[in-house]
């Protein structure tokens, strides 16, 4: 247990705490995703589309925190698996809208339900004050980050 004690730079560094929390908090649920034969990026796409079907590839990529060319290929694979279909946008032919198939929607909804349950378990493991604060703090951080930003 008594690893090299931790008053180190890394253990208190905000970007480390964020990366590690994200990684570890997601690990269990990501295992669940993979157990369903999906990869994590595919799950992210499904979750986005449940919220808002027929998104463009570009927006899907932004929301799923990944590059456009990667998203293109992920959509390829999901299309091949019958989870989504590509639909041309009538107004703008450059755009590709990604739409859930019935299978895709069913899977997505079931996974969202699992995700909610898993999240509830995570939050219930925290003290009430922490559980109440965590999302707010993260949202605030995201807000700050989305603003133009003045300094380097």
Residues that bind DNA in the complex, under the rule CB under 7 A: 39, 41, 56-59, 66-70, 72-76, 86, 91-97
Binding mask 68-107 for a copy of itself (x = CB under 8 A): ----------------------------------------
Q: Rule CB under 8 A: is residue 134 a binding residue for a copy of itself?
A: yes
**Shortest separation between residue 123's beta carbon and DNA, angstroms:** 27
Considering the complex, state which of residue 69 and residue 140 has its C-beta at the smaller distance from DNA: 69
- Residue 56 or 80: which CB sits closer to a copy of itself? 56
8 Å CB contact between 63 and 48: yes
Specify the residue, 44 or 111, whose C-beta has the smaller distance to DNA.
44
Which residue's entry shows tokens 């041309």?
Answer: 88
Minimal distance, residue 37 CB to a copy of itself, in Å: 18
Rounded to a whole number of angstroms, the minimum distance from the CB of residue 74 to DNA is 6
Other Cβ atoms within 10 Å of 26 Cβ, number:
14
Question: DSSP letters of 78-147?
Answer: HHHTTSEEEEE-SS-TT-EEEEE-HHHHHHHHHHHHHHHHHHHHHHHHS-HHHHHHHHHHHHHHHHHHHS
Instruction: Please give the structure tokens belonging to residue 151.
Output: 């300094």
How far apart are the C-alpha atoms of 107 and 103, rounded to whole Å?
6
């Amino acid at each position: 247990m008594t690893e090299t004690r931790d008053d180190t730079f890394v253990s208190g560094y905000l970007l480390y705490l964020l990366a590690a929390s994200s990684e570890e908090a997601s690990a269990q649920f990501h295992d669940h995703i993979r157990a369903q034969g999906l990869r994590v990026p595919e799950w992210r796409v499904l979750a986005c589309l449940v919220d808002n079907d027929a998104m463009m590839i570009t927006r899907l990529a932004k929301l799923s925190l990944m590059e456009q060319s990667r998203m293109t290929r992920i959509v390829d694979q999901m299309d091949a698996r019958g989870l989504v279909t590509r639909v041309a946008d009538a107004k703008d032919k450059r755009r590709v809208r990604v739409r859930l198939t019935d299978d895709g929607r069913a899977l997505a909804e079931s996974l969202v339900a699992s995700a909610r349950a898993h999240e509830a378990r995570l939050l219930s493991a925290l003290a009430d004050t922490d559980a109440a604060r965590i999302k707010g703090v993260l949202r605030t951080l995201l807000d700050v980050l989305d603003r133009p930003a003045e300094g380097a």
